[in-house]
Amino acid sequence: MEGSLMISIRKTATELDRLEELSRAAVSCYGQAIHSAENHAIEINPSQSAQFRSQLRILNEKVKAAGSPDELKAVQALFDGELKGYQKTAREQIERLRKDFAAAASAVEVLAKSVTANTTDLDQDMGRQLDRLKKVAASDNLVEIRSEILVAVDKIAASVKSMNDSNQLAIAQMKDEIRLLHDQVKAARGPQLATSEAGGANGQAGNLALAKFTAQNRPFSALLAVVENLQGLRMLYPPNAVESGLCSFEARFKSLLPGAVIERRGKHQFIAIVESDPKEVIAMSRELAKKLSLPLIEEEKGVSHTLRLSAGVGVLEFLPGTDARKFETKLDQLAEALSGGNS
């Protein structure tokens, strides 16, 4: 009886050892999976890719330090959110670059067609003027010869000038497209932290896109997201960690509204211009506020900080005929109400 009990205990101990070893292997493999996602992330925007990899390294450390299934599940939720956010943002960037390259190709095509059309027109006009000169060459009337030569010269000169002017316009348009394309590529490569001090108290940073849309005098909704607890975050965390969190907040905002024009309007304000039914935008804003308020993991000098940026979201509708300055004033008032006095 005693022998059977000892055998049973040994079997149980062996099984526990096996389960513990299996648990360690599972955690290790999960950490390696996160590490592989970090290593093999497709790099489109270097600064964004660096931030994504930094987030994954922090998650990897959390996997190693996890002491319960709930902690591992929490890491899995954060990991899934990071992957989805990075995928959406990468798709948006690829789509923008695709459109920019298409615009540049279109500009080159317009130039080619313009040159071809102008050359054809010039050839035809030159042919007519040469026929005129051939006919007048058979004349004995010097006055008529002189007159026809002067007319032909003037018409040839006018045709050449018209062709040059048209080609110069097409070339200028192509240069503008190429310049815009270079600006887009340069912006994609630039660091996200360059916007750290963008905009003042009234948030002028995001007013460029806003002014463009109000000038078009067509309806849209301005969806404003404001970090409500910025002062509290500054009291609890290092400045760089807070600023990094604001950049992550902006990236998350963009990933949640693919296709919308989104800009940072101030230190803690972000505006999205959405051309959809205002009722749909208002309904969307409630869910958006919840998702924007989910925790963010930021690292500062080797120390990870879990920041929860509490988001206040409001919607202001722009109707055709609305005074642009009054609309911006209302937007400032909405931002002030959402921020609760943050600066």
* CB-count burial class (<10 Å; 0-12, 13-18, 19+) for 220: buried
In this prediction, the residues of the chain whose per-residue pLDDT falls under 70 are 1-19, 22-23, 25-26, 43-47, 97, 99-123, 136-137, 139-143, 153, 160, 162-207, 340-343
pLDDT value of position 213 = 85
Predicted local confidence at residue 104, as pLDDT? 60
Q: In what order do the strands lie in the sheet with 311-318?
A: 261-264, 269-274, 220-227, 311-318
Q: How many other C-beta atoms are found inside a 10 Å radius of the C-beta of residue 221?
A: 23
Helices and strands in the chain: count of H runs, count of E runs: 9, 6
CA neighbor of 42 nearest in space, from 87, 104, 98? 87
Alpha-carbon distance of 8 to 16, in angstroms, equals 12
pLDDT at 134: 74
pLDDT of residue 225: 93
What pLDDT, on the 0 to 100 scale, is given for residue 207? 62
- Separation between Cα atoms, residue 77 and residue 75, nearest integer Å: 5
Residue-averaged pLDDT of the chain: 75
Q: What is the pLDDT of residue 227?
A: 92
109-140 pLDDT, tens digit per residue, is: 665 666 566 666 666 777 777 777 777 667 66
pLDDT confidence of residue 196? 40
Domain range 195-339, CATH class: alpha beta
For residue 67, what pLDDT is reported? Answer: 72
